[in-house]
Amino acid sequence: MQVGARCICGTPLPPSGQSPIASFSEVRAGCSALRKILVPDSIWEEFQGWCEHLNEGPVDQSVLLLAHQSGRLGQVTSPIHRYLLQSETVRADARGQYTEDLQETWLGEPEPLERHRKWKMFHGRVAELQFAEWLEEQSYTITGLEALRKGPDIEAVSPSGLNCTFEVKFIGSENADLEMQVKSLKGEPSGDFVSPYAAINYLTLRVYEAARQFQTASANKTVVLIIDEMAWTRFELQLKERWVDWTHAKFVAADGGWDQFVALKLKEHPRLLDDLAETIRVVDSISILRQSAEFDFCRKYDIRTGEGGP
């Protein structure tokens, strides 16, 4: 992540005795990725208030402020510098909705579950660009980004010269996890459990949703699942034991409210149950990565859909 290293955001600051937000403010003043995209002037005053007051819950702390405090801010800002800025200003071809999604405004959502949903959306955008940068570190050449044009999330040429397209899905902790944490913080019973069958069904659904976006792509097609470290245990056993035959993918019988959840999804995708396996077979491969709290990627599985598993 060399680009961020040339900016103040890529250089961990020595302890100054300042409050975290005051120290962060100094870095923001010298970092165009923070000042122009992630925390622009239009939200800066509110952002400071959010950081001062929304710090009690398990996911109520600013991603950027925590990264700054841990010396990892450059891991977040580097792909912003690399792909969305030019001469310290936002690129003319940067898509407005995409850059808006990258503003850390989720902190201002008053309802906990909706705040959590928007946190995942924000984190997903960041992870997508981090993955593009990670591909370059693996000697891929990036040729297209959704951040700059309509189309697949990422287009790239592999080290061997293969044209590749990637659809990236970020998997964070789910609302059920947050509900249990909220209950616990309130001193209420929180003994619910997360069904491993519902969890693997959810993962299969995310692959399906990504595969649908490949219908017109002609290059090699890879679905990328980036699973947050906090969520990894939800899927670890099922992936290790190859619960899904990705060539003939189907949902398994599950509890934990899965039937109600899939009923809602059928309103969005009426042919979901009929087209699940066929749609996933459009994909050439599924790449599953675990992302640590320090934003590092660890590739756990590369699955060829014709082989039935990792």
pLDDT digits (tens, 9 = 90+) for 237-266: 999 999 999 999 999 998 768 888 889 999
Q: What is the pLDDT of residue 177?
A: 44
Q: Which residue has the higher pLDDT, 214 or 169?
A: 169
Final residue in a domain of this structure, among 106, 138, 170? 138
Confidence of residue 173 (pLDDT cuts 50, 70, 90): confident
Residue 228 lies in a domain: yes
The reply to whether 103 and 178 lie within a common domain is no
The reply to whether 102 and 167 lie within a common domain is no
Residue 153 lies in a domain: no
Residue 92 lies in a domain: yes
Residue 155 lies in a domain: no
Final residue in a domain of this structure, among 90, 122, 138? 138
Pairing verdict, β 141-145 and 285-291: unpaired
The reply to whether 186 and 272 lie within a common domain is yes
**Mean pLDDT in the chain?**
87
The reply to whether 131 and 8 lie within a common domain is yes
Q: What is the pLDDT of residue 58?
A: 45
Identify which of 55, 172, 46, 148 has the alpha carbon closest to the alpha carbon of residue 94.
148
The reply to whether 126 and 216 lie within a common domain is no
When pLDDT is averaged across residues 154-177 and rounded to a whole number, the result is 88
Q: What is the pLDDT of residue 15?
A: 63
The reply to whether 40 and 169 lie within a common domain is no
Residue 148 lies in a domain: no
Query: Range with the lowest mean pLDDT among 24-38, 87-101, 167-181?
Result: 167-181
Query: Range with the lowest mean pLDDT among 106-110, 111-115, 178-182?
Result: 178-182
Count of domains forming the chain: 2
The reply to whether 38 and 101 lie within a common domain is yes
Q: What is the pLDDT of residue 133?
A: 98
Residue 144 lies in a domain: no
The length of the chain, given as a count of residues = 310
Q: What is the pTM of this model?
A: 0.89
* Residue 308 in tokens: 């039935």
The reply to whether 116 and 179 lie within a common domain is no
The reply to whether 114 and 24 lie within a common domain is yes
The reply to whether 131 and 189 lie within a common domain is no
When pLDDT is averaged across residues 107-135 and rounded to a whole number, the result is 93
Identify which of 36, 131, 118, 41 has the alpha carbon closest to the alpha carbon of residue 84.
36
> CA–CA separation, 292 vs 202, rounded Å?
21
Cβ-contact 282, 211 below 8 angstroms: yes
> CA–CA separation, 261 vs 175, rounded Å?
12
When pLDDT is averaged across residues 113-131 and rounded to a whole number, the result is 93
Taking the alpha carbons at both ends of the chain, their separation in whole angstroms is 29
Q: What is the pLDDT of residue 309?
A: 46
Residue partners of 185: CB distance under 8 A and separation at least 6: 56, 57, 58
The reply to whether 310 and 168 lie within a common domain is yes
DSSP codes, 128-146:
HHHHHHHHHHTT-EEEEET
- pLDDT of residue 182 exceeding 90, the answer is no
The reply to whether 119 and 180 lie within a common domain is no
Query: Range with the lowest mean pLDDT among 200-209, 220-229, 301-310?
Result: 301-310
Q: What is the pLDDT of residue 306?
A: 58
Q: Which residue has the higher pLDDT, 278 or 217?
A: 278
- pLDDT of residue 59 exceeding 70, the answer is no
Identify which of 77, 90, 92 has the alpha carbon closest to the alpha carbon of residue 126.
77
- How does 78-117 read in b/e, with b if 16+ C-beta sit within 10 Å? bbbbbbbbeeeebeeebbeebbebbbbbbbebeebeebbb
- pLDDT of residue 141 exceeding 80, the answer is yes
- Residue 155 C-alpha from the chain's centroid: 17
- pLDDT of residue 185 exceeding 80, the answer is no
Percent of the chain with pLDDT over 70: 86
Can you give the residue range of the structural domain that contains 123? 1-138
Residue partners of 277: CB distance under 8 A and separation at least 6: 247, 248, 249, 250
- pLDDT of residue 229 exceeding 80, the answer is yes
Final residue in a domain of this structure, among 138, 173, 202? 138
Residue 84 lies in a domain: yes
